[in-house]
A and B are shown apart, each in its own frame.
Chain A
């Protein structure tokens, strides 16, 4: 890894996460339109199944990474002052990490219950 921020890796990651998000979006849309869980318990049962729960965890991770790359791109384009850009990137990172913890917490709590 060079000292420079990556170009190719970010680009590839953005595309891979986009594909995964797209596929999951189609799946979830289908699920909730045609086979929506009737009750909270049923929903919990579905969401905590071994396959679905991993898929959902991955989805959260993909959304976070995708957002990181995308927003970083926008900041690189429009924010040139180094201090401001670093601050904004840090805030973004904090926000995304917080979101990640929160989502993980929700999913894990559901799993335990």
Chain B
């Protein structure tokens, strides 16, 4: 099967190029397996990958125009020739490796940790199963970056708009019955950029390899903000 892969090595190339590889596809082959085959053919090809089972979030790439997680994307589900590019909108370090530092910065900006003001009990903080259920669909995020790099609002304002990933995280803590920093979290999201650049384009929902819904989370944040404002 024909793969057309984005190649750029700043040490040797002045401009990016697309290189063709012929990969023998086996049954059940995942895109990551195919990329590992490419690397077997051509040692100089670089991409990030690790767990191979969709939990570490290393191998987000753009396949035929859509952001996917390589290790859980069946090659058979992609149309030949398969064009592989790095995640869009991020500076390319080399080949499929992009610089994700802004993405991580946005994550850190939402204070992605539980804030508790009351003294801690000696045992667990109690939480009802119903309250715990509210975290389903939020805590599973693996930070692969497929969503934020598919989001036009994030492309235009990656330095100011938090992007779907960070906002999903923000809601993960706002939705947690144990968290006690709702006001601060909401205040920090005020202004036209951090939250309100989301125009519900929903690319994030479409590409999320873990089937999470950042747009819905963003909607919840807006509702909660409104509730607190009036």
A65 to B152 Cα, complex, angstroms:
25
Nearest CB of chain B from residue A83's CB, rounded to whole Å:
18
A6 touches B156 (CB 8 A): no
Residues of B close to A76: CB separation below 8 A: 157, 192-193, 197
Q: How large is the interface on B (under 10, 10 to 19, 20 to 34, 35 or more residues)?
A: 10 to 19
Most chain-B Cβ atoms within 10 A of its Cβ — which of A4, A5, A6, A77? A77
Nearest CB of chain B from residue A84's CB, rounded to whole Å:
15
A7 touches B153 (CB 8 A): no
Q: A2-B190, A12-B226 are in contact. Are A7 and B156 (CB under 8 A)?
A: no
- Segment 1-43 of A: residues with Cβ below 8 Å from B: 2, 4-8, 10-12
Q: Is A78 an interface residue (CB 8 A)?
A: yes
Nearest CB of chain A from residue B50's CB, rounded to whole Å:
35
Q: Is B189 an interface residue (CB 8 A)?
A: yes
Contact of B191 among A7, A73, A77 (CB under 8 A): A7
Residues of B close to A78: CB separation below 8 A: 156
A8 to B192 Cα, complex, angstroms:
8
Q: Is B175 an interface residue (CB 8 A)?
A: no
B157 touches A7 (CB 8 A): no
B199 touches A8 (CB 8 A): no
Q: Is B172 an interface residue (CB 8 A)?
A: no
Q: How large is the interface on A (under 10, 10 to 19, 20 to 34, 35 or more residues)?
A: 10 to 19
A8 touches B196 (CB 8 A): yes
Nearest CB of chain B from residue A39's CB, rounded to whole Å:
45
Q: Which residue of B lies closest to A4 (CB)?
A: B191
A8 touches B229 (CB 8 A): yes
A78 to B152 Cα, complex, angstroms:
10
Nearest CB of chain A from residue B195's CB, rounded to whole Å:
6
B190 touches A8 (CB 8 A): yes
Q: List 20 A-B contacts (CB under 8 A).
A: A2-B191, A4-B191, A4-B192, A7-B189, A7-B192, A7-B196, A8-B190, A8-B196, A8-B222, A8-B225, A10-B192, A11-B196, A12-B226, A12-B229, A73-B199, A76-B192, A76-B197, A77-B153, A77-B157, A77-B197
**Residues of chain A having any CB pair with chain B under 8 Å:** 2, 4-8, 10-12, 72-73, 76-78
